[in-house]
Amino acid sequence: MQSNDFQEEQSSNFDFKEIFFKYLSYFHWLVLGAIIGLTISFFYLRYATEYYQSSSVIKVLDNNNAGFKLPSDGFSFFAKSRINLENEIEVLKSSLLVGTVVDELDLQNTYYVSGMFKETDIGASAPFYIKWLGDASVTDELITTIKIHLKGNHFTINSLDDKFSFNKIYSYKGHNFSLHLKNNSQIRKDSDYIIKKSKKINVINNIRAQLSVTTVGEQSELLKIIVTSTNPQKSRDIANKLADVFNNDGINDRRMVYTKTIDFVNERFAFLFKELDSIETNKANYKKGQSLSDFTFDSQSLLMSKSGTKEELNQAKTQALLSEILIETLSKTSLNDLLPVNIGLQQVDVNALTSQYNQIVLQLQKISQTLGDNDPYIVQLKNSQKDLKTSLKSSLSTYRKMMQTRINEIEKISQNQTQQYAALPFQEKAIRSIDRQQEIKETLYIILLQKREEAAVNLAIINPSIKIIDYALAELIPISPKGNIIYLAGLVIGLTIPFLIIYIYLLLDTKIHTKSDIEKVLKNIPVIAEIPHITDDNKMVKYLDRSVLSESFRMLRTNLGFLVKENDDGLVLFSTSTIKGEGKTFVSMNLAITLSTLGKKVILVGADLRNPQLHKMLNIVRHKKGVTNFLHDTAASYKDMIESGSQYNLKFDIIFSGTIPPNPAELLSNGRFEMLLNELKSQYDYVIVDTAPTLLVTDTTLIANLADLVVYVIRANYTDKNLLNFINDLKKFNKVTNLGIVLNYVGEQKGYGYKYGYKYGYKYGYKYGYNYGYGYGYKADAVKTKRKKSILSKLKYWLKTFKK
């Protein structure tokens, strides 16, 4: 319960100033951690691989209505684009286009400048380039690294002594290569370079992983191409080249369609030439054999009546013939070939199906190089292609039958008209038949000629696939790693790690450090003095000394007067502690010295019979006579035990503890110790008794009732806080009544001793602080001067500690 109360008391009395000074004492470690963190960040930024990013913005153009076609109505100009941006993004990121970029920019070979700790990608700024000779399928799979050392007009490979010349073929690991200097390149002599040859598929996958294609906005039709690379020029070149390759790919697709149309028309021209020549030859032979001439004037009236019928008949037969030609072409064309479009058929459904069929063929040609034949998407496209082909055949057959029916109807009408002109010679009929065939062929010839010219013009003025909105630029500021973030992280981590270590150290620290630590638990027991930590070997107060140690014991002497009043008999002061090593003997000796400076008669008695320490303070050998001899021998006189302090340059007498007995508790309780104190009180003003620690043995509690005041010594940075509960128990059970605490060794750890140092450091220039100013009457200017010196001394101490 006491431990819990102590913890609750600590948590409720939070002192920010105390916590601040605790951490301030470790300020040099925080500074060191920050410097180390910033140093690590500096070297990380210096030798880490930097990544740069470049981006270009393009707009994909809609070329579905390109050419001489007019819009169907006045509002078609405002129609929404039919471009699927998601498909275009996938095309841009496809392995086919990226592979073309890799080939054109020679990205399989990466050029580095070799440094002491880092290899820097120099990209296209390398003064030379390498060519791998041989089968492309073999070189694309090659993975190797070559170290090039330039020496004037020669170079060496992998630190070998053999010199090689540029523009010549050499063999390396079974593969032939040649190294070529770039025009106007500046060669740094005795420079080391590294060429890393990678597999093409690996380079493609790497670029695709660092490639991002997104829309500029949700409603935007603009695409942003973002490329990340270890070289700013390389990322710029990849982004621009990818846009160029994508543009050329779309142009080539449309060029293929127009070229296929022109080739188809040229093939049909050759066939029509033969048919027209055959018709004209037959007509000439027939007229020559029948001795026929022109029947225009005789049949003018008939022709006028039949002109409308003939025109319909010719048009129907033309459409029937075109459908037969297209059916024949469709039967001979493989699945990978394009069909001719717009050859003159008036059937809109057939033309639409033909365009859809060609689009599927083009789409299959694009993605078949990237995806396998068994890919579900390709299988779906092929099934759609077959369905379109079947539908196209069915539509053409139906259209041909419809035209044939139309022809039959028109011919019936023509026969009726022919019967009306039965008087005309049959020869004229034959000639007309030949003329009709010739007219059909000529009409078909003119239609195909127009289509060829249209396709040729579109091929010559083919529109681009994209419009470049913004070209990619080489951004010289890397996107990763970011210097500000790395430095900030290094600073935060550098401060956090030592702070956490200090925090854990302080969290686990249960030692008493300051006066407030005592007052939080021992509320009814006063702290009558704080003795500073002294680094000098001599731990004794000197007479007429103005040191901070002497002043602290004068403060103790003064405070004792408030706890006990002088009387006719001398005062008995016990000096004890909880455990060994807290400095009770040190306090006893220096208190005796301080009291003796007042002209009082003082005697110091060594009552720690188990572990006497007074002789060590005086640097002498332990005496054989002392308190033990008096307690044991009833015939012994206390006067024989007293030694004059003058032989030790002291102004008080001393009784040493004497021989270490086997039964100190029994000796102290046999009554002779009380007799000794009574005799000493009658002759001395102050009897100071150095007793044993209270926690380890019962010696002190047996005789504590004989003391007018118990000076209880606690050592800062040594005594555990839980031991304060033991002192409370001594007070609670009246084992020790009149009690005053002396906090010894204050200031050993900076930050904990700020309160003590503030009290004592002003006058005497020690490094423990300033001064409360207990009535000394010093001037304000002197106070400021001493404070400045104290601050400077602290800074010098931190600097010395940091240098160590």
Closest listed residue to residue 192, CA positions, set 293, 122, 296 = 122
- With a cut of 90, say whether residue 41 has pLDDT above it: yes
- With a cut of 50, say whether residue 701 has pLDDT above it: yes
Residue 780 to residue 322: CA distance in whole angstroms: 118
- According to DSSP, the residues that pair with 196 across neighbouring strands are 110, 145
Question: Where would I find the beta strands (DSSP E) of 27-83?
Answer: 52-60
Dihedral angle sign, alpha carbons of residues 360, 365, 370, 373: positive
Question: 340 and 260 in contact (C-beta within 8 Å)?
Answer: yes
Question: 601 and 685 in contact (C-beta within 8 Å)?
Answer: yes
The pLDDT > 90 percentage for the chain reads 30
Computed over every residue of the chain, the mean pLDDT equals 81
Residues 6+ apart with CB under 8 A from 58: 222, 223, 225, 243, 246, 466, 467, 468, 469
The predicted pLDDT at position 772 comes to 31
- With a cut of 60, say whether residue 363 has pLDDT above it: yes
Question: 341 and 348 in contact (C-beta within 8 Å)?
Answer: no
Backbone angles phi, psi at 115, to 5 degrees: -115, -175
118 φ/ψ sector (left φ>0, alpha ψ -120 to 50, else beta)? beta
Q: How far is CA 264 from CA 267, 339, 443, in A?
A: 5, 9, 17
Alpha helices in 423-547 (DSSP H): 426-460, 483-508, 515-519
The predicted pLDDT at position 417 comes to 65
The predicted pLDDT at position 175 comes to 86
Closest listed residue to residue 615, CA positions, set 640, 648, 571 = 648
Query: What six digits make up the tokens of 251?
Result: 């142009």
The total of other beta-carbon atoms located within 10 Å of residue 104's CB is 12
Taking the alpha carbons at both ends of the chain, their separation in whole angstroms is 45
The predicted pLDDT at position 793 comes to 60
Would you call 709 helix, strand, or coil by DSSP?
strand
Where is pLDDT greater, at 678 or 388? 678
The pLDDT > 70 percentage for the chain reads 83
State pLDDT tens for residues 659-681. 899 999 999 999 999 999 999 99
- What mean pLDDT comes out for the span 16-33? 84
The predicted pLDDT at position 767 comes to 36
Residue 711 to residue 527: CA distance in whole angstroms: 10
- What mean pLDDT comes out for the span 753-781? 37
Residue 156 to residue 140: CA distance in whole angstroms: 24
Pairing between β-strand 191-197 and β-strand 52-60 as defined by DSSP bridges: unpaired
Question: 62 and 83 in contact (C-beta within 8 Å)?
Answer: yes
Q: Which amino acid is at 631?
A: L
The predicted pLDDT at position 107 comes to 92
The predicted pLDDT at position 743 comes to 94
- What mean pLDDT comes out for the span 737-764? 62
Own/partner pairs, 158-163, CB within 8 angstroms, 24+ separation: none
Closest listed residue to residue 516, CA positions, set 741, 781, 187 = 741
Virtual torsion, Cα 620, 621, 626, 632, nearest 10 deg: 160
The predicted pLDDT at position 291 comes to 54
The predicted pLDDT at position 295 comes to 57
The predicted pLDDT at position 66 comes to 54
628 φ/ψ sector (left φ>0, alpha ψ -120 to 50, else beta)? alpha
Q: Which amino acid is at 627?
A: V
State pLDDT tens for residues 69-113. 434 444 444 445 568 889 999 999 999 999 999 999 999 999 998
Dihedral angle sign, alpha carbons of residues 482, 483, 489, 490: positive
- According to DSSP, the residues that pair with 179 across neighbouring strands are 130
Virtual torsion, Cα 343, 349, 352, 356, nearest 10 deg: -120
Alpha helices in 291-423 (DSSP H): 300-332, 348-367, 376-420
Q: Count the helices and strands in the chain (H runs, E runs).
A: 24, 20
Query: What six digits make up the tokens of 704?
Result: 């504590």
Residue 561 to residue 321: CA distance in whole angstroms: 137
Residue 635 to residue 629: CA distance in whole angstroms: 10
Residue 542 to residue 558: CA distance in whole angstroms: 18
Would you call 528 helix, strand, or coil by DSSP?
strand
Burial 184-205 (b: 16+ CB within 10 A, else e): eeeeeeeebbbbebbebeebbe
State pLDDT tens for residues 566-581. 777 889 999 999 999 9
The predicted pLDDT at position 764 comes to 35
Cis amide bond preceding 481, omega within 30: yes
Residue 347 to residue 397: CA distance in whole angstroms: 12
Question: 502 and 28 in contact (C-beta within 8 Å)?
Answer: no
Residues 6+ apart with CB under 8 A from 391: 353
Residue 203 to residue 108: CA distance in whole angstroms: 6
Q: Could you tell me the strand order of the sheet in which 466-470 lies?
A: 211-215, 222-229, 52-60, 466-470
Q: Crossing angle of helices 95-105/232-290, nearest 10°?
A: 110
Virtual torsion, Cα 27, 32, 33, 37, nearest 10 deg: 140
The total of other beta-carbon atoms located within 10 Å of residue 496's CB is 15
Would you call 69 helix, strand, or coil by DSSP?
coil
Question: 89 and 509 in contact (C-beta within 8 Å)?
Answer: no
Query: What six digits make up the tokens of 738?
Result: 């009149």
- With a cut of 50, say whether residue 314 has pLDDT above it: yes
The predicted pLDDT at position 782 comes to 40
Virtual torsion, Cα 680, 684, 685, 691, nearest 10 deg: -40
Dihedral angle sign, alpha carbons of residues 383, 384, 385, 390: positive
Residue 51 to residue 290: CA distance in whole angstroms: 91
- What mean pLDDT comes out for the span 12-19? 67
Would you call 775 helix, strand, or coil by DSSP?
coil
The predicted pLDDT at position 567 comes to 75
Virtual torsion, Cα 493, 499, 501, 504, nearest 10 deg: -130
Q: How far is CA 227 from CA 57, 58, 85, 474, in A?
A: 12, 14, 19, 11
Confidence of residue 206 (pLDDT cuts 50, 70, 90): very high
The total of other beta-carbon atoms located within 10 Å of residue 616's CB is 11
Looking at the chain, how many residues does it have? 804
State pLDDT tens for residues 608-647. 999 998 888 888 888 778 999 999 988 889 898 999 988 8
Dihedral angle sign, alpha carbons of residues 573, 575, 578, 582: positive
DSSP 8-state class, residue 78: G
Alpha helices in 291-299 (DSSP H): none
The predicted pLDDT at position 766 comes to 35
194 CB-side CA count, 13 A = 12
Closest listed residue to residue 180, CA positions, set 144, 128, 227, 225 = 128
